[in-house]
Structure 1
Amino acid sequence: MIAAGFALAGPAVLVSSSSLSSAAQAGQGAVAAPREPTRVPVFSATIVARYPHDRTAFTEGLLWHDGALYESTGQERQSDVRRVSLKDGKILAKARIDPAQFGEGLALWKDQLVSLTWHDGIAHRWDVRTLKPKGQNRYTGEGWGLTSDGVSLLQSDGSSDIIVRDPLTLAERKRVAVTIDGRPLRDINELEYVHGALLANVWHTGFLVRIDPGSGKVTAVIDLRPLVAEVAATDREAVLNGIAWDAKADRLFVTGKYWPTLFEIKIAAKPQ
């Protein structure tokens, strides 16, 4: 649930670019080396509820549809697309991805789910009701996060670009460069389209960023490091990843790879 005040009004809060990159994997800096601090609004989050989450799920994509969560998981020989009960975290239905492929981001397009693969350049299509396969599309480059704005599919690939794709063919329409105070923001991962903006995980950090999908500018940072601290994962790859928005009830859910908890959160109405 994003408060109405999350329109980024009010004074900017000083944020060092290194506060994003210091949490990132060594050698995988989230932002270009800064010459000066970055000024963007920083929002905190309140935990509304906690739900069980499969601690063996290497979460790559997450979305909400018709009263249930849909999740895609990664790792070779373990990747799948699943429908999950919010209340107890139980898997209600599951479709396995080719064991040689590494599952990645997930998006809904009409009556189908579209799931990416990391290195194979294959996007799988699944019937959203039955999870039966409905075909494949090819694309070039790495697959990371995926979401839909109702017109196109929006994809991340680990770079500082958002790739806008045709939802039927996955042909690339254009790219939008993501920047924070004019500097490229790399390692954009899971994506969710919320209230006309993109929310994105930044890999190996405890932050979400809000991105203007037209300009690519980061318009806010959401600090979820308290959630990371609560989970206290020991696996360095058990990072914050997974954003789902229930548009009807205006609820926002987040989780992470191998996390035992899925959180419903509310973004603060005012910056920190």
Structure 2
Amino acid sequence: MKKLYLLLSILFLIYWGCEEAAEPEDCAGVAGGSAVEDNCGVCDDNPANDCIEDCSGVWGGNNICGCTDSTATNYDSTATFDDESCEYDTTTPTVNITFPINGTTVYEIVSITCISTDNEGVEKVELWVNGVSTGVTDDSEPFSLEWNTTTIQDGSYTITIRSYDTSDNVTDSGPIVLTVDNTLSIPTTVELYPITYNDGFQISWSQNNDDDFQSYKLFGSLSENMSNQTLVYETDDRTDTTFIITILNSKYYQIVVEDLWGFQSTSNIEVGDYDFELWGEYY
């Protein structure tokens, strides 16, 4: 009996060992299948469809890596993830005053010129006087800054020009000292010609050709020293240099030239007079 049991056990083991072992299932539930699940959780048997890791470390992501800081020199407007590659401009611009030279006496409007360069580009230059910004700027070459000295007192002033580059780096030029003397800024005087009479006093004068010409004013007075004078005529046309007076209210005349800044110069004085006969007498 024991021998029979042993024989049956051996036959069972032989039968079991000969039976084909069952194959494992893949991610799709197919026994012996080749589908695998990728890092994005997609199950298929095509490796070409496997998702990849983008530059920011996100599987299946579509980030564009680059510099996202708009102040950086390598700013990438298409980047969606900052990869810490930003580079910054720390080079300051250069600036030098070219006109006027140190020690010059100036008046009225002064054009101060400079040369400024930068590795990335100059945004603007700005005029500073005695360490204070004037607010006068220029943002295009050739750089020129107009300084109006008619609003300040005569004297010496320290001039610098500050240059700003496109990365907000700043440099000041070397200083120069200018002397303001607006006593030199009076308009060129005109000559009042001798007055003649022909159906009225014919008053004429030479033309003023200053760039900042504003007006002629003709004044009349009964006094030789032009006291108590009255305004007879005014014009802002520099070519209008003749006026006819038909009604005699004054005897002495003078032309005042005024410029754009209110400075004036006076001409010589001429007398407007004529003799006429009345009952055999000349008056």
Greater RCO, 1 or 2 (C-alpha within 8 Å, sep 6+): 1
TM value normalised by structure 1: 0.18
Higher helix share: 2
Higher strand share: 1
TM value normalised by structure 2: 0.18
